[in-house]
Copies of this chain bind each other. A is one copy, B any other.
């Protein structure tokens, strides 16, 4: 394919992309097929001779599209948002053309330098303390990582290295492997699995701190565990706090946990993968109070800030020219545009919460702080599992469950940039219709024994915090 054909095909692709996104609502949000569907639809080997672009694009509709879960459909309410925007797509095109690998300054100076400045812009949008901004004294600064998992791993490795040096500075005869075998890290029992994985990779112990009735880590519980471990000869060295947990968007109490970590010489990393984007709005910024005690912080602009990738402060690594996307998005939306996007999605979550609250067959299962609503039918886990099965089977909307204190809970996350009030209203009508059908078929005792789990996994039957 030469430049002339690329001009033609590229423009066709721009239209294909715009058509796809404009009409995405017409596609079932979730695919209807069995694992292994694709292998039979395409050859077992690469073609020897080149094929035509027309054939390839026909196969995109025949082979690929039926197997897509449409994350940017306004009817997609699963997981967390995966950011996408037209400015980010334009930047991606430019980024692909430049195609540099920015592993050093000389390998493409603009790539290194724009990243440093863009992360300063981002840090200022979040009102991070000065020590996180490269442009002030040059000690802090952010970098883009591939995933939040990678960011957590990097912070744990930095903390591990620092802890080994600190112990050996005092007890020079202790071997590194002896110190490593005594190190212990902590995180919430609500933390993402990638935090535990980071400890596995780094070959250090990790303890899960039990959370309170709001699914948050409190100072007292961490303090108790740290003291027990120290008494047992272990070396507490790292705590990964979560702001906005994956199951229910809960916030650990970092204003209290931070001073504890500082006093105990423990590295405090803050994982705000989803919630971090919201801190660009002054009304949500108080949720980040306590950041001044942290050693590192990461969040995913790719989740909620219309840019696709992740970011961490202050450990260094970069490859491709991903800061171009930040530049495009920040400039073409402006801070106000980005704040409006966050506020709109939080308002939609509140709207959905009101709908749930107004229906006494349902309950809210965790406080709705940002764009996630955890809810369920009053009743057994089995009842709620059946409701979710019907929702998934209908393919009109898509959401996923979580476990909160042993209860099977439905997560309704505002995801697509194009989700509007009418989608929320329609989704709720759809859910209540399916619930109505389901409850009609249930024996009456289901409702009268509403808090008895049928699967024996029930750990806590009290009504959830935030449920009104």
Contact = CB atoms under 8 A, between A and B. Distances in A.
A438 to B, nearest CB: 22
A96 interface: yes
Given A100-B68, A121-B45, A203-B202, A94 B51 contact: no
Interface string A93-137: 110111111000111111101101100111011000000000100
A21 B97 contact: yes
Contacts of A331: 46-47, 50-51, 55-56
Interface residues of A, number: 112
A1 B85 contact: yes
Q: Is the interface of A mostly helix, strand, loop or mixed?
A: helix
Given A1-B332, A79-B101, A46 B94 contact: no
Contact of A108 (B53, B68, B100): B68
Contacts of A157: 201
Given A124-B45, A335-B46, A89 B93 contact: yes
A99 B66 CA distance: 15
Contacts of A459: none
Contacts of A122: 46
A220 interface: no
Nearest to A22: B3
A444 interface: no
Copies in the complex: 2
A328 interface: yes
A160 B147 CA distance: 23
Nearest to A147: B319
A31 interface: yes
A233 interface: no
A422 interface: no
Contact of A49 (B109, B180, B203, B336): B336
Nearest to A82: B101
Given A71-B108, A100-B71, A108-B68, A333 B50 contact: yes
Interface stretch (A11-19, A345-353, A448-456): A11-19
14 contacts: A3-B22, A6-B86, A6-B89, A7-B18, A10-B17, A45-B121, A46-B334, A50-B332, A67-B108, A67-B109, A82-B100, A83-B99, A181-B181, A202-B203
Given A3-B22, A46-B334, A50-B331, 13 more contacts: A1-B332, A7-B18, A10-B17, A11-B14, A31-B109, A33-B109, A50-B336, A51-B331, A56-B327, A64-B110, A69-B100, A72-B98, A92-B93
Interface of A: 1-7, 9-11, 13-18, 20-22, 31, 33, 35-39, 42, 44-51, 53, 55-56, 60, 63-72, 79, 82-90, 92-94, 96-101, 105-111, 113-114, 116-117, 120-122, 124-125, 135, 146-147, 153, 157, 160, 175, 177-178, 180-181, 201-203, 308, 319-320, 324, 327-328, 330-337
